[in-house]
Amino acid sequence: MSYLKIDHVDKRFQRGAATTEVLKDVSLVIDKGEFVSIIGHSGCGKSTLLNLVAGLTPVSAGAILLEGKEVNAPGPDRAVVFQNHSLLPWLTVYDNVALAVNKVFGRKKTRAERHDWIMHNLDLVQMGHARDKRPGEISGGMKQRVGIARGLAMEPKILLLDEPFGALDALTRAHLQDSVMQIHAALGNTMIMITHDVDEAVLLSDRIIMLTNGPSARVGEVLDVRLARPRKRLELVTDRTYIAAREAVLKFLYERHRFVEAA
Amino acid sequence: MGQPVLKGTTAGAAVVTLPAKPEIIALPAAPAKPFAAKLAPWIRAALVNLLPPLITLALILLFWQLAASGPQSSLPPPSKIWDEAKELIVQPFYWAGSQDIGLGWRILVSLQRVAIGFSLAAVFGVLLGTLVGQSIWATRGLDPVFQVLRTVPPLAWLPLSLAAFRDSQPSAIFVIFITAIWPVIINTAVGIRNIPQDYRNVAHVLRLNQIEFFYKIMVPSAAPYIFTGLRIGVGLSWLAIVAAEMLTGGVGIGFFIWDAWNSSRLSDIIVALVYIGVVGFLLDRLVALIGHVVTRGTATN
């Protein structure tokens, strides 16, 4: 049985009499422990697809199955790391993670265990030192780290990352990509990441799902990235497989499915 | 991310300089700084902030004194007020019989009415505002009613509430309540509507129930708006209590003004006006301060 199965999913948005079909007949199977990236031009429905998996928006047709059970509502088993971190500004870094941990493990763990688990997850993203700071007092990269810690702390079956590094500068982004790779290697989480960065997709993923342009976006191609882990960004620059994978994605995005409206 | 780097360089610099001249560390110099020099910035800040309003006040008093000194002047100049109402100014808390009491006591009675009426308005205002902000049907049903009722002047409610409660005390409190509740409702509703979708998504993913969502996401997120409403509300309450007490009688500061007018004590009225202004200002500051503390500085002043 597949871990996550997206089965012939359509998504339409109704506004008055007008119907927009965002996703058309999307099917996908993701195995446990896999790191999958979804890439496509902006507006193609990447985030919509992620929201469907998260259960934040309902599917119009088809079904999404996680471990054989249909997904029809959001829940902590599919934690989301939001694009703009979505930390609650009135809570400290610690309390932001605590909100999730207390809700998810309030009955299963004692107070001390929960505290250890919060600190463990903050340390995992190297944010233990900033536990008493508020989101307004830390940098964008740090906020995103805390967002990842909050997601991981829910011990989700799947961690959904919605363009997690989109708003960060290139250096911070590289740091965080390395952190995510380390976490993925250490914990073996199943992760789905939305991105529009080709290098990021190739560096992090086991598979890259390329969506065609919307409306009615479909899965255009699926690329297996057969690079050994752990991956080191410097060594990969000259790696043949890396270059080939990068080229395949670029060709898909800029030759076969050029973003027509952009210009 | 910049901070650790900065720390690293300063630490590195210290390591380099220390072995060279370990004796010359300038740290003990700080306590030697004269006390007056430490005090200087404080005095400076006090002067900068206090001097302009004091000068303005002095100029106003001077102008007033000159303008009201003529023999045909209908209003008393400051010097005459000081002569006639000195007792009220210097002794806010004297007690010489049930109707002959200091202005401080009268203010406290009025404040008590405002406290009860305003607290009720705050509680019901936040709850109603939450309902209106959260539910589209509540908005459609209630918002037009609110928009009409909020334009009714406070005193227009007084006859109705006197008829309903048959007593001046609850009537005055009701007038405060009905005056203060509208800005609280409207601002709370706006605050609730402006909760970012991201926070709602976080709540959905965590499966927070309605109660948890209310006090963990909704109230803190809308707090800056709620406190804006409360500040407007407390200002309106203070406006309304004076007017209401003029009509209902009793002990409050409003009735004192009415009473002074009936016995032609203009100086007393002017002193009472100053009291009302100062207390109103302090009330506004108090709510702003509570807002600042509760929202941890995110509320705008």
Instruction: Name all contacts of B242-247 with Cβ < 8 Å and 24+ positions apart.
Output: B242/B110, B242/B276, B243/B154, B243/B155, B244/B154, B244/B155, B244/B158, B244/B171, B244/B172, B244/B175, B244/B176, B245/B110, B245/B113, B245/B172, B247/B155, B247/B158
Q: Who wins on pLDDT, A260 or A16?
A: A16
Under an 8 Å CB criterion, which residues of B touch A?
A: 1-2, 196, 198-199, 201-202, 204-208, 212, 216-217, 220-221, 223, 295-296, 298
Tell me which chain A residues have a C-beta less than 8 angstroms from the C-beta of B202. 82, 86, 88
Q: Report, as ranges of residue numbers, the positions in chain B whose pLDDT lies below 50.
A: 1-21, 300-301
Residue B115 belongs to what H/E stretch? helix B103-134
pLDDT at A220: 86
Q: What is the pTM of this model?
A: 0.75
pLDDT at B92: 78
Residue with tokens 């049930």: B98
Task: Classify A263 as helix, strand or coil.
Answer: coil
Closest-CA residue of chain A to B2: A139
* Averaged pLDDT of chain A: 89
Residue A114: pLDDT over 90: yes
Cα–Cα distance, B179 to A254 (Å, whole number): 63
Note the ipTM here.
Answer: 0.87
Backbone angles phi, psi at B4, to 5 degrees: -55, -35
Query: Residues A7, A65: contact at Cβ < 8 Å?
Result: yes
Tell me which chain B residues have a C-beta less than 8 angstroms from the C-beta of A56. 201, 204-205
Q: Maximum distance among all alpha carbons in chain A?
A: 57
- CA distance, residue A79 to nearest chain B CA (Å): 7
Cα–Cα distance, A157 to A191 (Å, whole number): 9
Domains of chain B and any CATH numbers:
105-294 (1.10.3720.10)
Q: What is the DSSP letter of B101?
A: B
Residue B205 has its nearest CB partner, among A74, A89, A90, at A74
Residue A63 belongs to what H/E stretch? strand A61-66
pLDDT at A259: 67
pLDDT at B128: 93
> Token pair of B84, please?
């006639």
- Contact criterion met (CB < 8 Å) for B1 and A90: no
Cα–Cα distance, B97 to B80 (Å, whole number): 26
For residue B238, what are the contacts with CB-CB under 8 A and spacing of at least 6?
Answer: B114, B276, B279, B280, B283
Q: How confident is the model at residue A72 (pLDDT cuts 50, 70, 90)?
A: confident
- Contact criterion met (CB < 8 Å) for B206 and A104: yes
Q: How confident is the model at residue A217 (pLDDT cuts 50, 70, 90)?
A: confident
Cα–Cα distance, B13 to B7 (Å, whole number): 10
